[in-house]
Structure 1
């Protein structure tokens, strides 16, 4: 009875959330001669953490504002400081190129902001937030932490919208319950591995790993992605600590070679001391591979592919001994297009295949035409079935790689998953050799290797795996080719880590950090090395900022994952390594997001 009551309560809350979402959506799409009236609404929606429900509506309003009020990159409005500053920040956050020159109207002849503005508390606060955008990240706080903090602030605002506030509270608590269950499942998995007793040298930080992943994406549709990334994060922590704090150079050589070969039989060649880390790594990726195949099998898109769109894909029936046609007829199946055509026109199988291929070409022409602007529906919704067609074109070209999921399907999944990991392990091995040989690399050598060993590229690519059919081959190609955006995030993150954890790492024995490399190469003090490090971090944030402005190299959802990784570093590595020493701000943040619900 108790469980039934809980389910009924969850259903009631879900229904209430849906009703409130409709009301907020109406506010966003309501017709108005002045779209600027929606600026504060969009800002509140975003800061309360419910903007993920209204991405399309918000995007349309921001596009309209940009079109009407931005000329040659300059905001052209007459408004108070608060409105101008908030608008500047929102436009930047949404990737629009806008110049901060609009803020000059609030300055005096000496270039300083007018003293009379000091009494405008709201305006000055908005100005501070907007000014922060010029040199640093678009919005460096973590969305969930910002939402938890801002709900309390917004509630105290006499002008708050009660519908929006209630939605934010209910939505936060709903997500908190989901995230709590996910954390529980991952912690149970970790406990079953018995890492703390079997591998006592490994930092026992699975809760912190999950929390980091929650920073990457919190939305409910990415629950499976969080599960995958959390497990990879946990096992990578084991591998990282094995290279950093446990294995001898000879053992690590063997481990690296085994990971390059990626075969469970390599266990026989490994010493007992490092067999378990390797086994855990291999088993995890086998689990992920099977999960991916299974998830594709559950997908309604794939089901439709198999049952209904045989006609859609080129060269589909070229190999009668291996393709789906032969298999389906052997097991007993409704007639395919080929049988129907052969029966209706009394033609040969070859003629039927030829007709099938011609129709495929015609259908691709229709697909291309429908993708030209203006489209009937927004492009993201065309992209889903288009990606489905591309999937079929790749994996059904010579045989049914869905039913017989070996061959190209298995090879593609393995390459997608394993290549980034092998690259990271090579970097770990290089650092282990440097440490073993007491070699101090040049700054250039250090940054080249540490940009890989820090793991941001690996985590970014892994984060895309569970994101469903919105991920294309081009996204993975972009991520694996060391784009400027990922390099800036990787180096910036590594440098923040070097400042925060340098003393601890050097005490336990670790490869030279950027600080030691800089001090050695230029014969400078530690203070000078830290100063240089901080300047480079600022420069990297400028690059990150620039890469987030439209037109972006890849859609914003795929920039957002590594961007959130960088924000996590900025929050939790600003003063110390809150991952390794997980007290203080880390503990407080986990409590706020996972344990303390928002009072309704």
Structure 2
């Protein structure tokens, strides 16, 4: 498919030279249908050459989103939820000191079912007891059951405990393979596989464990007859638990847990009820986001992606908990990044983009007079939204955080303009040159900066500056999203004539084939996760778990949104997830 460009006039004031690409031009008299007043206001202006990504329209109309509702509200649901939570607390208390593996399995189920936020203190106490009794000393490691060893390792590392990789030293043979007598324990091998993704740099034992168990699990799927176990294995091979957003995992794991022979009916009922009750909160937040999006008029920018539901998914992935008040602001941030990205990446001429970047760097609303009309609308909506967020913090917290926001957005714009210049000149950057800019241009850093503010209990200049401690962790999370994005979207982006992405830069620099380049990028993603795990462990005491989880969850969203394609750009790919997460409650409750 050749690159598609559009020769049209809406929103245009400036022209630019045609980029140095082999282009197929198409003539399109109207970018929007029905025609908007915003387009009419600038029609008949100077004609210019524009790219068009031909993004599919949104599947979710304003009226549909506003109609979302649920029956899982009110006193009856709250009362039943409270009763079931007390039952689960009793289950936790009954297992303490009796059966560490059963207790760890219960904690794991509660986390995967999205219920652990109700039992934070209980889980913290349980893990501390198990750590002291089973893991603090290495004297019994060689005698530990593989399941206890693997599941405990994963859960304890996840919660900030330092468990050395040497706990698995007796599991791996001299050739780097899991010893054959463990092959009879399919569940143990699956747990070891999941544990291996919590490795950090230079942990060769865990690397060997991951490679060996992955090979084993792929082979064993040919012989496993238990459909539930088969589903768990295939799910793990497709999405290692450490790489999947929690809310998505809950949606998928609920179906598997319900079919398990050891399923607890009370836990299942609570999980279904809680999922539906949290969905109610998400529907409220999504209705708000949809109204804001409509008021911005950005939905009429027909060159861009109308993706308010998909952008809401990013904020849910960052923090799905019902008490989190930042989802609405984060959805605005996500949506603005998507639109501004399309201005730079698809529609704006280089001259316009240079001007827009100058205005972003000056933060001078009076300077918008030099911009074309569509950019004036874009900047005004953006400027007003960011200033309103800053004003709310100033009135509630007494902290002036506008410069903090400004810097985040200016860094993003400055990375965008670098790519625009590369595109205009036909320049292919080196692989390192691309990554040094692209970790910022993926747009995750501003989201994290806003999320950090929204998770602070005390907003002050001191606290705002402390985010620098997490710089390496943030960079690695951004890089993971960038690389997963490139793996899923680079083919489509090259078809429409975008600047080369990491895969193409690596191929150009090394002479590698696309298959070899993709294999290298997959390895780089894995290595970057190890760095992220290491950085999180190093700063776990410096920040709230809420903020650290947000950073990791954004990295996970890279895998979710871009594995096997572009769920953010292609609405049909995301539709079944949107229906399950935001529209349809889980059935089967009493």
Q: Output the TM-score relative to the length of structure 2.
A: 0.75
Secondary structure in structure 2 of the residue aligned to 1:429:
helix
Residue 109 of structure 1 and its aligned partner are, at CA, apart by 7.5
Residue 89 of structure 1 and its aligned partner are, at CA, apart by 1.8
The answer on whether the counterparts of 1:138 and 1:545 sit within 8 Å (CA) in structure 2 is no
Deviation string, structure 1 residues 410-457 (Cα, Å, up to 9, x no partner): xx3211222111111111111111211222222222111111111111
Alignment of 1:536-575 (within 5 A): 536-549=524-537, 552=540, 553-575=542-564
Q: Is 1:583 aligned with 2:572?
A: yes
2:278 corresponding residue in structure 1: 175
- Measure the CA separation in 2 of the matches of 1:60 and 1:209: 36
Q: CA RMSD for the aligned pairs?
A: 2.7
Alignment of 1:348-497 (within 5 A): 402=398, 409=399, 412-469=400-457, 476-480=464-468, 483-497=471-485
Residue 244 of structure 1 and its aligned partner are, at CA, apart by 0.9
Q: Is 1:19 aligned with 2:83?
A: yes
Question: Equivalent of 1:277, from 358, 372, 378?
Answer: 378
1:225 corresponding residue in structure 2: 326
Deviation string, structure 1 residues 509-531 (Cα, Å, up to 9, x no partner): 32221223222323333333222
2:345 corresponding residue in structure 1: 244
Question: Equivalent of 1:188, from 267, 291, 303?
Answer: 291
Q: Is 1:598 aligned with 2:586?
A: yes
1:154 corresponding residue in structure 2: 257
- 78-87 or 58-67: which moved more? 78-87
2:303 corresponding residue in structure 1: 201
1:150–1:266 CA distance, 2 compared to 1 (3 A): same
2:266 corresponding residue in structure 1: 163
1:480–1:155 CA distance, 2 compared to 1 (3 A): same
The answer on whether the counterparts of 2:350 and 2:421 sit within 8 Å (CA) in structure 1 is yes
Gaps of 5+ in 2: 1-69, 200-206, 211-239
- Measure the CA separation in 2 of the matches of 1:8 and 1:559: 30
- Measure the CA separation in 1 of the matches of 2:192 and 2:465: 39
1:72–1:119 CA distance, 2 compared to 1 (3 A): closer
2:108 corresponding residue in structure 1: 43
Deviation string, structure 1 residues 40-71 (Cα, Å, up to 9, x no partner): 22111111111111222211221222222224
1:378 corresponding residue in structure 2: none
Deviation string, structure 1 residues 474-510 (Cα, Å, up to 9, x no partner): 6533435672211111122212212221122122232
Larger helix fraction of residues: 1
Question: Who wins on radius of gyration, i.e. which is larger?
Answer: 1
Question: Equivalent of 2:487, from 499, 502, 513?
Answer: 499
Q: Is 1:535 aligned with 2:523?
A: yes
- Measure the CA separation in 1 of the matches of 2:138 and 2:577: 38
Residue 195 of structure 1 and its aligned partner are, at CA, apart by 2.7
2:367 corresponding residue in structure 1: 266
The answer on whether the counterparts of 1:75 and 1:98 sit within 8 Å (CA) in structure 2 is no
The answer on whether the counterparts of 1:144 and 1:218 sit within 8 Å (CA) in structure 2 is yes
Alignment of 1:50-61 (within 5 A): 50-61=115-126
1:212 corresponding residue in structure 2: 314
The answer on whether the counterparts of 2:455 and 2:546 sit within 8 Å (CA) in structure 1 is no
Q: Is 1:514 aligned with 2:502?
A: yes
- 146-155 or 454-463: which moved more? 146-155
1:67 corresponding residue in structure 2: 132
1:62–1:183 CA distance, 2 compared to 1 (3 A): same
The answer on whether the counterparts of 1:35 and 1:61 sit within 8 Å (CA) in structure 2 is no
Q: Output the TM-score relative to the length of structure 1.
A: 0.74
2:512 corresponding residue in structure 1: 524
- 130-139 or 276-285: which moved more? 130-139
